[in-house]
Amino acid sequence: MKQETKIVWIAALIQFINITDFMMVMPLGPDISKNLPINNSDIGIICGCYTLAVGISGIACAKFLDNFDRKTVAISAVLGLSLATLYATFCWDLYSLVGARVLAGIFGGPAAAISFSIVCDVVPPERRGKAMAIVMGMFSVASIAAIPFGLELAARGTWRTPFYAITILGIIVLLLIIRFTPSLKEHLNHERASRSFFKIIFNKKYILAFIMMMTAAISSYAIITNFSAYFQMNLGYPRSSLGFLYFIGGLFSLILIQIGGRSSDKIGPIPTNILGTVLLVIFTYDGFMHSPQLPLIVIFIMFMGMVCFRNISATTEASKIPEPYERAAFMSLFSSLQHIGNGIGALSASLILTVGSGGELINMKWVGLLSIVMSLFQPIALVIIHRFNNTTK
């Protein structure tokens, strides 16, 4: 158990670096637009291109990841991601920044896949919800610690300063992987892994799992990429309090994702997911489809928290589908299509939104409607997948 816990936390650190690298661009959007010839509405393009690169990279690598030691893949992915993040500090306009983020996304795909694959290899299904909650909880930890710290670094330095910090953290995680992660080779079976790739991409159960997470990603990232600009420009939320907002939102999300993981293990993924979806729809409607009735901090907390709460149940159930020799391929495709959904959500929001004369975002209510419609697919797909898992493997 001690070795299992150590490996799970190393996988979580890989995910932490990956998520922090992606999330940092969104709250820094207004800061970047003040120093580079970039508009606030362009942030969706930057984030969307990054996530699409993650998705395409993950799909391209999926057929080969199960042919290598998990440790080797983790080292390569984290090293590449760290160097690509450093490259972003040399950017001078929209195109150069998009190029740097695409490069980071190429390594982000395998990084996301390998962190989940490591957990699936070392943690049995009956404890996997709790372990997955630790790894997926890094989204919240990034909001609690990394984003507020990055915003403070940007305020004291420039928008580039947080990316230097992420690079340093990436190197630290890389050293931890080298020092403490054992070789994980039990899954290696080249002949079966090669066949399993085609089994994955043509099997309706696997396809349904991919659609389930892609639509959920479109739902969440259509909103998430525009949080900072919408709250500041439309609702008058002060820039000086943005770090505090992400801290509180991340703290509650971390609590809710742990509750969601344990709830999935104890009462089942379906009731957990349905509850999360209902609450997500309520707070999306109130926060983004009309003038909010609730305080912004409540809307932010509950939106972020319910995204995490319901996704943990879906990811845990989906992780039970693949065999050991196909886990990296499956998780790579699963994570990649989720990131493609992130990119579609971000780019769709950018196409819907326009910028008013005062910098405010126009048409946010239509983005909110898109988010609500996409969010309803996940519980339906999860019910079908759960039935598959209980009847066939």
Residue 175 or 244, more confident: 175
> Which residues are CB-neighbours of 181 under 8 A, at least 6 positions away?
7, 10, 70, 71, 74, 118
Helix (H) / strand (E) containing 231: none
CATH number of the domain within which 207 lies: 1.20.1250.20
Give the relative orientation of helices 327-352 and 204-224 as an angle to the nearest 10 degrees.
40
Band (pLDDT 50/70/90 cuts) for residue 28 is confident
CA-wise closest residue to 285 among 242, 196, 223 = 223
Q: What is the mean pLDDT of residues 247-255?
A: 82
Number of domains observed in the structure of the chain: 1
Residue pair 385/211 in contact by the 8 Å Cβ criterion: no
Q: For residue 319, what are the domain limits?
A: 2-391
The percent of residues in the chain predicted with pLDDT above 70, rounded, is 91
Cα–Cα distance, 360 to 221 (Å, whole number): 19
Sign of CA dihedral 197, 203, 206, 211: positive
Q: Please give the pLDDT value at position 196.
A: 55
Going by their DSSP bridges, the two strands 361-362 and 354-355 should be labelled as antiparallel
Query: Which range has the worst mean pLDDT, 19-28, 79-88, 194-203, 261-270?
Result: 194-203
Q: What is the mean pLDDT of residues 18-28?
A: 83
Sign of CA dihedral 284, 290, 293, 298: positive
> Which residues are CB-neighbours of 173 under 8 A, at least 6 positions away?
13, 14, 16, 17, 78
Query: Which range has the worst mean pLDDT, 70-79, 115-124, 367-376?
Result: 115-124
Q: Please give the pLDDT value at position 360.
A: 81
Q: What is the pLDDT of residues 32-54, one digit of tens each?
A: 888 888 876 677 788 778 878 88
Q: Please give the pLDDT value at position 376.
A: 94
Query: Which range has the worst mean pLDDT, 240-249, 276-285, 292-301, 373-382?
Result: 240-249
pTM of this prediction exceeds 0.85: no
